[in-house]
Amino acid sequence: MHYSYAQLKEKRVGLMDINDVLEFVAPKVRDAAIQGAAQLERLGIRHALAGGLAVGAHGYIRATADVDFLVGEEAFEHHGALVTFRPGVPIEVDGVRIDYLSPFSLGAQLEEVLDNPPVSQGLAVVPAEALIYMKLSQTPPGCAGRCGTHQRRINVTKVRDYLQQYAKDLVSLFDELADERCKARTAALAFGGIATLTGLVSKQLLKPKANLNHD
């Protein structure tokens, strides 16, 4: 039997580890992430894993069929109004699609993530606070509370501070749902609660992404 969500022991707040999610997803997805990252590195393109693999690295492990990277503007070429990928940027590995997101469309502060990303087992990963911001900023009104929760811990204070600095308009929504999910556990919020908040487990929010995919 294959589970959509991993049954793992809860880890301490702030711990990031890509190993569990890479072992959980299909081997083709794992290989696409590794090979895609290696190719971006060869091209000199700043990058960090986003999407389902990044969420898994922070403790909320779920099945995913594709790979998402946050990348710098050096991944693209501009021809007037037309934007294309640079030659050599991978869009698929062995049938697994690779999607891209850019600070240009999501927020200039994400350039800081690309300049100094946290790394796990040699793979750069978008940090939890930035990942939550990315999803919150794409969540349509009224969609935040439609899904169930799964227990995985993140640093709520760090996330709130990040939103306070870069997206004050999202703080009240974050606080409302954080309080709803945590009650007395204000020092540690279930990552699944954040997944509910940000739409990470909502299929209609996962697809389509607000992105720079150019066919």
Please state whether the peptide bond connecting residue 208 to the residue before it is cis, i.e. omega within 30 degrees of 0.
yes
Q: What are phi and psi of 164, to 5 degrees?
A: -60, -35
The pTM score is 0.71
User: Does 165 fall in a domain?
Assistant: yes
User: Does 3 fall in a domain?
Assistant: no
User: Does 180 fall in a domain?
Assistant: yes
User: Does 199 fall in a domain?
Assistant: yes
Euclidean distance between the first and the last CA atom of the chain, given in angstroms as a whole number = 36
pLDDT-derived band at 12 (thresholds 50, 70, 90) equals very low
Question: 156: exposed, middle or buried (C-beta count within 10 Å: 0-12, 13-18, 19+)?
Answer: buried
Is 182 in contact with 197 (CB distance < 8 Å)?
no
More confident residue, 26 or 167: 26
User: Could you read off the pLDDT of 188-204 as tens digits, one per residue?
Assistant: 333 444 444 444 333 33
Question: 85: exposed, middle or buried (C-beta count within 10 Å: 0-12, 13-18, 19+)?
Answer: middle
For residue 141, what pLDDT is reported? 52
For residue 154, what pLDDT is reported? 66
Q: Which candidate, 204, 200, 46, 47, places its Cα nearest to that of 132?
A: 200
User: Does 23 fall in a domain?
Assistant: yes
More confident residue, 59 or 12: 59
Distance, in Å, from the CA atom of 87 to the CA atom of 85, rounded to the nearest integer, reads: 6
Distance, in Å, from the CA atom of 166 to the CA atom of 141, rounded to the nearest integer, reads: 19
User: Does 5 fall in a domain?
Assistant: no
Split into its structural domains, the chain has a count of 1
User: Could you read off the pLDDT of 53-99 as tens digits, one per residue?
Assistant: 999 998 888 889 999 999 999 999 999 999 999 999 999 999 999 99
Q: What are phi and psi of 98, to 5 degrees?
A: -115, 120
Distance, in Å, from the CA atom of 214 to the CA atom of 58, rounded to the nearest integer, reads: 29
Domain span at residue 150 reads: 19-206
Q: Which candidate, 168, 49, 164, 59, places its Cα nearest to that of 113?
A: 49
Please say if the pLDDT value at position 135 is more than 60.
yes
User: Does 72 fall in a domain?
Assistant: yes
pLDDT-derived band at 115 (thresholds 50, 70, 90) equals very high
Q: Side by side, which strands form the sheet with 96-101?
A: 47-50, 67-71, 96-101, 92-93
User: Does 214 fall in a domain?
Assistant: no
